[in-house]
Each structure stands twice: as C-alpha cells, then as structure tokens.
C-alpha cells in the first residue's frame, strides 16, 4: 500500500493538494474573522437585551457520560492487508470513537488498539448491494459486479459496512440478523454523535464558523443544506476542500490505475483516504492558527463593543432600513408566489415523524419506570431500587433501546420539495431531531433522578412505588411542556434552513450589485461589526420568519401533535427544582447498592488499574460469554457472541450463577437440562460457595451428633425395659398358668398392630433418608413369642432401623448423578422397601396362624 500511495501521490500532486487547501483556508480565514466580530457583538447584545424566553422545566446534566463507556463486544472484521476475516474486540468510550483490538485480553491489559475509527461523515450499510451501488459512484465508468471482488465477499450473510465518500471503508460481519441490528444501532449512534461536532455552548466560535462556511459555499454558487457539514471544524473544512479537490485528483490519477475493476476501485479508495488525511492535517493546523488570532484580538474588540453599543445599534438600524427599502418588495413577491403555498405542507412533513419520535421517547421512559415499579412490588428495598436506577440513569445513551425512537424520525421525507428548495437530503433534519430526542430523554431521566433522590433522603420506611409514581408524574408533565418547546423551535429552524437559501439564491442576482453602496453609511470604526451582507440576510430572514411563526402558532392552537400555545408559559412553576441541578451526580450502585461492586472477582485493592476498571461503567454490554464456538472456515478466530448471550449492564457478574442454577432445573422428561456444562464445570468454586458448603457440612455433623446421642439413650432405655418385661412375663407364666382365652386373644392382637405401626414408620423413614431400613428376620419370632407392648415394639424397631440407616448412611448421602435418571442406589432402596413390606405381610400371616393353633390347643 505504501508503494501505491508513493507512486500516485508524488511530489507534484502533493503540492497541488497543499495549494488547493491553502487557497480555501485563506478565503475561509478572512470570512471567519469578519463573522467572529459579528458573532461577538450579537452575543453581547443578547446578554444585555434578552428578556428570557420559555424556561426549561427539566434539568440538564452537565457531564452526561462521566466515567462511562458506551459499548464493547466482538465481531468479524475484514483485513485488507491479507484479505482475510479476523475476530476483533471493539470498545467504544464516551468519545464515541470505535477502538478495535486483537482480542479482549489486549484491551484488558491496556494495550494500544489496532486502530481507531472516527465515524463523522460515515454511513452504516447492512447490504452488499447498497455498498456496491455507492462504490460504483467513486470511479465513473468503472463498474464492479456483485461477487467479482474477493474483498467484497462477506464471510456471513449479515455484513456491517462503514462507508465514507473520502476516507477508507471498514468491513464487519456478524452471524445473526439480531446481532446485525444491534451493532447497526451502535454504529449509527456513533455516527450521530460524532457528526454533531460543533459545541453549542460556544456562542461565538460556533456561529462564526457556520456562517463563514455558509458564505464560502454561497460565494461558489452552493446554496441549501450540505450533508458533509458534520464532525469537528477541521473535518468540515477538509470535506469542503475535498468537494473540489477530489474530482481534480481523480482526473489526474485514474488513467494511471491498472488492473481489474475491483483492483482499480480498491486502489482509488486507498489513494482517496491518503489525500483526505493530508488535507485534514493541513486544515487542522491552519484553523487553529485562525482561531488563536481571533481570540487574541477579542479583548480590545469587546471593549469597543461595550463602549459604543448604543451607537453601533443605531447605525445598524439605519443601514437596515435602507436595505429593507431595496430588498423587501422583491422578497415579499417571492414569498407570496414561491414560499407561502409550501409552508403548511413542509411543516406537516416535519411534524408527523418528529412528534412520533418524541412520543416514543416518552413511552420508553414511562415503560422503564413501570417495569421498575413492578419489580419493586415484589422486593421493594432501596438496594433493588439502586440497581434499577443505575440502568435507567443511562437510558438516553443506550443505542439499542433508543433505536425504536430514532426509527420514527427516519421516515421523514421531503419528496417533491428537495429539488425546488435545493435540499440535498432530509438526513440533516433527521439527525438534528434525533439529537434533540436524546437530550430530552437524558433531561427527563436526570430530573427524575434528582427528584427521587430528594424524596428518599431522610425517609427510612416508605412505599417506594408511591414515591416513584409521584416523581414520575411530575417529570412527565415537565417533559410534555419542554417537548413542545423544543419541537416548535426545531420546526422553525428547519423551515428557515429550507427557505432562506432558496430566497437568497433568487434575490442575490438582483440585489448583490447594489449592496456595496450601503457600506458608505457605516462608520469606519464600526465597519468590522456591521456588515452589509449580514444585514441583507437578516432582512430576508425577517420577511419569511413572520409566516413561519404564524404556521407553527396555528398548529399549536389546534393542539396538533400535543403542541402547547405560546401563551402557556410555565415560569418558575417549581423554583426549587433548578437548585437540584447543582448537586453532584448520583452513584446509585454505590449509595443504595451496598457499596462498590468487585470487578471480575477482584477485591477492592489499591491497584489503580482495578480502581479504574471499577469506576468506568458500561452503558451497554456485548461482551462474549464462553461456551459458544462460532468460527469461520479455515480461520482461527474467537467466538462472536450470540444474541441470547448478550447481557445487559449488571448481569455479567451473576452470569455464572444463573447458568449453574439453570443447569439444575428439571424438565418434563425427567432429564436435567445441561446448559453450558463445560463453562459451569470448569469454573473454580468461589469463596461464597465454599463457605456455604462448610456451613452445610457443619450443620449436618451437628445434627448427626445430636441424633447419635438420642439414639444411644433410647437404646439403653429399651434394653432396660426389655429385661423388666422378660421378668414380668416369666412371673406371669408361673403364677397364671391357666389364663382365659380372652386374655390370650387380647395379648395376641398387639403384634398385628405393632406390624401396622412398623409399616407406617418405615415409609416415613424411607422418605426422610432416601433409603429403606430392612427388617431382620430374627425379630418376628421374638415378637410372636413375647407379648411386648406397642411402645416397646416401636422402640425396638427404631433401634433396628437406626442401625440399618447408620450402615446405609454413606449410600444415602451420595449426590444424584448428572444424568437425571434413577441411580442404582435408589433402585436397591426400593427393592429393600418392597422386601420390608413383604416381611411385614408374612409376619401378619404367621401371627394369624399362631392364633389359630393356640386357640385349638386351649379348646382341647
């Protein structure tokens, strides 16, 4: 690749690149210096005159992703060097740049990533057909067929491609469609975040930059929206350079490219990426120099504006009145013919999908709180509440859950109006609406956090569900009001972005020639602050702004899409709420979750790496779980996680426990469900499991000791009672030689009841010990010859069964086998149990026979 770049990007072509970049940056620098002074004046005037519009009811989080990472997981990546697919571990920090590593172990060891992807300007593609269609536009006349290129053959049916018009392309793939959808949502969130690279809190630099870029494009005949207005300022400027530089370089290099169609396309992508890198490095350095120069001259400029503010305003109003006299008649005619008939239709096209997206945000927020309340009904403690709030706190930055909200806005279509008003595509408005939706969700979640935390302070015992419900109702009302305010502002800005470029394009040819004459009306001291070009655009803006405001106001009066009227202003409805916004962020897991959790089984030590890993929490997790092998043919790759093995935040620590519990569940056929058996068996026992085994062993030993002592004392009492009974029997035989038949029959009935008692005792002991104690044959004649009382008989049987159970205790204490079928030990126990029943029946039969014989002898 180095030879290719050095061959086609020789010194002469590099000089062309530097010259074109320098020309653009020189013109941009002049425009930026002019717009910087204008933006500084507008900011200072707004600070003095602003009466304050509708106040936001929801709180705003200052640092949303502090100590957070967004995403991590493994998938397959195509390597262009060796033209093979390899498994890669991707980690996405709070900057939304994609870092890919050799494997997860390389990331855990803190090694440098194999590469980093800045997603600004990229598009996420999920089909090869769509990619090839875009690829064919890179080199006109060079068409590649599907399947003709080796590096276009995806290893699976579910590709994920990051496409850029100037930078290199990245190829990934997964094994299931659900994985593709989840990774696509993550990549789109990275693109959405990095595209929004202009900080809104910079009230001077950001307006100056956007106006300078817009004026530069208008000077070259480009009006309307621009899809590549994405990323940081150096990236946007590099895109601006590449718009004109790339066709020139293509004409110089393309005739020299050799090889097949796919080889020429691949080589051209590599050359384009190298050119884009050179341009971006030059725009970075030159833009920083321009900004430093303007910032150095800011203090004296602020002093001049602050001193002469009134005179500057008066002079600007005088010039504005003169420009209005020239522009207003033409603008009103154009407005009446070409703008007013389309305002309502374009507003409807914007309101429908945008409002559905905001409604979905509200529903998602509501569903999450309802699920939390349902879980708190079963186990409503603060520790459980902390676990749920830890997940809900980052709901706005969960790309998979928020995808349903973003998809509602993606249906926005301006078909039939794009060419008329020079709108390249609705993607600019779609991404802006999605960013606003994410901000609204985070504001609602943050406000709910602060209200709930305030309600829980100082309250030891209270119904958590009622507390959650009260805070939820307050936040929903505030969300409805702020949602209406944000959407109305978005509709006005979108309509202005559509109509203003069109009107400027139509009015500039007839007005631009006369505008320089108005510069004579401006004092020289104010010539840096009052610019005629800006006044011309402000006049056009105010001309169309009145009709746009009326259209949005009418939609609010009709309560369309739950828009509030402008007269409904909730000023200081909750004055103490904004004081909560100054509180530090809430760590729910640490405050209500019983302290910080261990990471990967590590104890809280003083190791800084362990502490860092414990602090950095992940919004979404797709870390792979061992046990599933998904390897490409002829490749030595790690496993790509299945969709079912994608745990959420907080479930990774308990994954092994849940697997072991699931493996012990019984199914209907009597076999055990073997779930990830290797992973469970190979897992070493934890300290908690060892302690539980020791405790259970100690309890069993104590129970055995107590039972043995009770058995010994019972044996002694039984032996003593047997001796006494024998003595009494012998005495009775000598003294009462002629006993009556009724007494003999009464004494002989007792063994039968004793046998029935034995039959009742044996099943109970069998169920308790999982084995049946076998009767000794020698016991039955003793019971027949000696008329022992039922309690004594039961004691004799307990002694015998105790001895048998002691001999069979090792077998009974053995664990059941993993197969789930009945073991041989259990079968033997059942056979012994049946034998015991038969012996009991035999003893009953023998006793009945003995009764008949004794009765016959007495009769004789």
Question: For residue 678, is pLDDT > 90?
Answer: no
599-658 pLDDT, tens per residue?
343 444 445 554 555 456 666 654 333 334 344 543 433 333 333 333 444 444 343 444
Whether residue 295 is found in the same domain as residue 355? no
Whether residue 321 is found in the same domain as residue 353? no
22-74 pLDDT, tens per residue?
999 999 999 999 999 999 999 999 988 876 566 788 888 887 777 788 888 99
**Higher-confidence position of 671 and 481:** 481
Whether residue 456 is found in the same domain as residue 485? yes
Whether residue 281 is found in the same domain as residue 381? no
- By residue range, what is the domain housing residue 553? 340-581
Whether residue 357 is found in the same domain as residue 331? no
* Predicted pLDDT at 567: 60
718-748 pLDDT, tens per residue?
566 656 666 665 666 565 554 444 444 444 4
Per-residue tokens: 656: 């092994």
Lowest average pLDDT, out of 163-167, 586-590, 810-814, 836-840, goes to: 810-814
Residue of 540, 362, 357, 338 whose CA lies nearest to 422: 338
Residue 511 resides in a domain: yes
Whether residue 185 is found in the same domain as residue 246? yes
- Domain final residue pick, 581, 608, 642: 581
Q: Are 579 and 454 in contact (CB under 8 A)?
A: no
Q: What are the backbone angles phi and psi of residue 141, rounded to the nearest 5°?
A: 90, -15
Residue 391 resides in a domain: yes
As a whole number of angstroms, the distance between CA 820 and CA 823 comes to: 9
Whether residue 397 is found in the same domain as residue 449? yes
Residue 211 resides in a domain: yes
Residue 860 resides in a domain: no
* Predicted pLDDT at 713: 62
Whether residue 257 is found in the same domain as residue 357? no
536: which residues sit within 8 A by CB, 6+ positions away? Answer: 323, 327, 511, 515
Whether residue 372 is found in the same domain as residue 250? no
- Domain final residue pick, 337, 355, 371: 337
Per-residue tokens: 325: 């006299």
> ∠ CA 711-713-714 to the nearest 5 degrees?
60
Residue 396 resides in a domain: yes
- Domain final residue pick, 532, 547, 581: 581
617-618 and 68-69 strand pairing: parallel
HSE of 415, CA atoms in CB hemisphere, 13 A: 3
Whether residue 319 is found in the same domain as residue 357? no
Residue 286 resides in a domain: yes
Whether residue 288 is found in the same domain as residue 325? yes
Question: For residue 322, is pLDDT > 60?
Answer: yes
> ∠ CA 621-624-628 to the nearest 5 degrees?
145
Residue 673 resides in a domain: no
Number of independent structural domains in the chain: 2
Q: What is the CA radius of gyration of the chain?
A: 42
Residue 527 resides in a domain: yes
| Helix, strand and coil in the chain, % to nearest 5 | 65, 5, 30
Whether residue 354 is found in the same domain as residue 293? no
CATH of the domain at 191: 2.30.29.30
pLDDT averaged over the chain?
75
- Is 0.75 surpassed by the pTM of this model? no
CB neighbour burial string for 105-121, b if at least 16 within 10 angstroms, e if fewer: ebbeeeeebeeebbbbb
């Amino acid at each position: 690749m180095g030879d290719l770049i050095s061959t086609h990007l020789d010194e002469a072509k590099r000089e062309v690149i530097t010259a074109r970049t320098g020309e653009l940056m020189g013109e941009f620098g002049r425009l930026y210096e002019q717009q910087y002074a204008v933006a500084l004046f507008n900011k200072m005037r707004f600070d003095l005159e602003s009466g304050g519009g509708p106040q936001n009811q929801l709180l705003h989080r200052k640092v949303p992703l502090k100590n957070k990472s967004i995403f991590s997981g493994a998938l397959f990546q195509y390597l262009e060097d060796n033209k093979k697919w390899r498994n890669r571990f991707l980690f996405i920090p709070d900057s939304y740049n994609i870092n890919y590593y050799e494997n997860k172990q390389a990331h855990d060891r803190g090694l440098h990533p194999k590469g980093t992807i800045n997603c600004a300007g990229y598009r996420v593609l999920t089909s090869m057909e769509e990619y090839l269609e875009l690829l064919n536009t890179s080199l006109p006349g060079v068409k590649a067929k599907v399947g003709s290129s080796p590096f276009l053959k995806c290893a699976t049916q579910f590709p994920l491609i990051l496409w850029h018009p100037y930078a290199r392309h990245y190829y990934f793939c997964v094994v299931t469609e659900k994985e593709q959808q989840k990774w696509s949502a993550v990549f789109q969130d990275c693109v959405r975040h990095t595209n929004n690279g202009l900080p809104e809190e910079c009230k001077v630099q950001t307006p100056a930059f956007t106006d300078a870029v817009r004026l530069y494009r208008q000077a070259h005949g480009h009006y309307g929206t621009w899809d590549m207005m994405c990323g940081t300022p150096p990236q946007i400027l590099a895109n601006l350079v590449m718009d004109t530089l790339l066709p020139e370089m293509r004409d110089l290099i393309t005739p020299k490219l050799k090889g097949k169609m796919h080889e020429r396309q691949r080589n051209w992508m590599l050359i384009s990426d190298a050119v884009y890198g050179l341009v971006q490095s030059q725009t970075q350095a030159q833009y920083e120099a321009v900004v430093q120069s303007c910032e150095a001259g800011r203090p004296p400029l602020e002093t001049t504006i602050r001193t002469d503010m009134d005179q500057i305003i008066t002079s600007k109003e005088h010039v504005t009145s003169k420009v209005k006299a020239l522009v207003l008649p033409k603008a009103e005619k154009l407005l009446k013919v070409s703008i007013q008939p389309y305002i309502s239709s374009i507003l409807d096209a914007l309101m429908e999908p945008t409002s559905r997206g905001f409604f979905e945000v509200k529903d998602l927020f509501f569903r999450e709180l309802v699920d939390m309340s349902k879980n708190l009904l079963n186990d409503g403690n603060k520790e459980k509440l902390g676990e749920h709030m830890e997940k809900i706190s980052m709901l706005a930055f969960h790309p998979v859950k928020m995808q349903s909200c973003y998809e509602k806005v993606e249906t926005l279509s301006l078909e039939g109006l794009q060419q008329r008003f020079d709108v390249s595509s609705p993607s600019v408005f779609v991404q802006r609406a999605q960013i606003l939706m994410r901000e609204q969700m985070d504001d609602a979640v943050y406000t709910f956090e602060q209200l709930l935390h305030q309600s829980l302070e100082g309250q030891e015992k209270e119904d958590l569900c009622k507390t959650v419900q009260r805070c939820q109702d307050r936040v929903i009302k505030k969300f409805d009001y702020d949602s209406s305010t944000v959407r109305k502002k978005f509709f006005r800005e979108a309509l202005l972005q559509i109509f203003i470029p069109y009107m400027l394009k139509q009015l500039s040819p007839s007005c631009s020639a006369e505008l320089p004459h108005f510069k004579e009306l401006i004092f020289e001291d104010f010539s840096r602050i009052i610019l005629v070009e800006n006044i011309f655009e402000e006049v056009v803006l105010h001309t169309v702004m009145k009709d746009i405001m009326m259209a949005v106001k009418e939609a609010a009066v009709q309560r369309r899409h739950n828009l509030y009227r402008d007269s409904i202003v909730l000023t200081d409805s909750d004055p103490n709420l904004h004081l909560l916004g100054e509180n530090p962020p809430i760590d729910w897991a640490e405050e209500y979750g019983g302290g910080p959790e261990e990471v990967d089984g590590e104890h809280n030590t003083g190791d800084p790496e362990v502490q860092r890993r414990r602090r950095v929490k992940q919004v979404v997790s797709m870390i792979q779980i061992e046990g599933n092998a998904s390897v490409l043919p002829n490749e030595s790759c790690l496993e790509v996680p299945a969709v079912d093995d994608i745990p959420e935040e907080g479930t990774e620590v308990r994954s092994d426990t849940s697997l072991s519990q699931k493996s012990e569940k019984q199914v209907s056929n009597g076999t055990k469900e073997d779930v990830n058996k290797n992973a469970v068996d190979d897992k070493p026992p934890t300290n908690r499991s060892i302690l539980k085994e020791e405790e259970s062993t100690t309890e069993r030993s104590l129970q055995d000791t107590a039972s043995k002592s009770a058995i010994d004392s019972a044996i002694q009492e039984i032996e003593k009672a047997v001796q006494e009974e024998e003595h009494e029997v012998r005495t009775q035989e000598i003294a009462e030689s002629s006993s009556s038949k009724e007494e003999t029959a009464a004494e002989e009935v007792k063994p039968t009841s004793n046998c029935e008692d034995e039959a009742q005792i044996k099943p109970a002991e069998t169920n308790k010990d999982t084995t049946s104690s076998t009767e000794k044959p020698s016991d039955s004649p003793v019971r027949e010859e000696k008329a022992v009382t039922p309690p004594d008989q039961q004691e004799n049987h307990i002694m015998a069964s105790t001895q048998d159970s002691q001999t069979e205790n090792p077998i009974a204490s053995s664990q059941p086998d993993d197969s789930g079928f009945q073991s041989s030990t259990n079968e033997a126990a059942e056979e012994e149990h049946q034998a015991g029943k038969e012996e009991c029946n035999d003893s009953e039969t023998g006793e009945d026979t003995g009764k008949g014989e004794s009765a016959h002898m007495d009769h004789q």
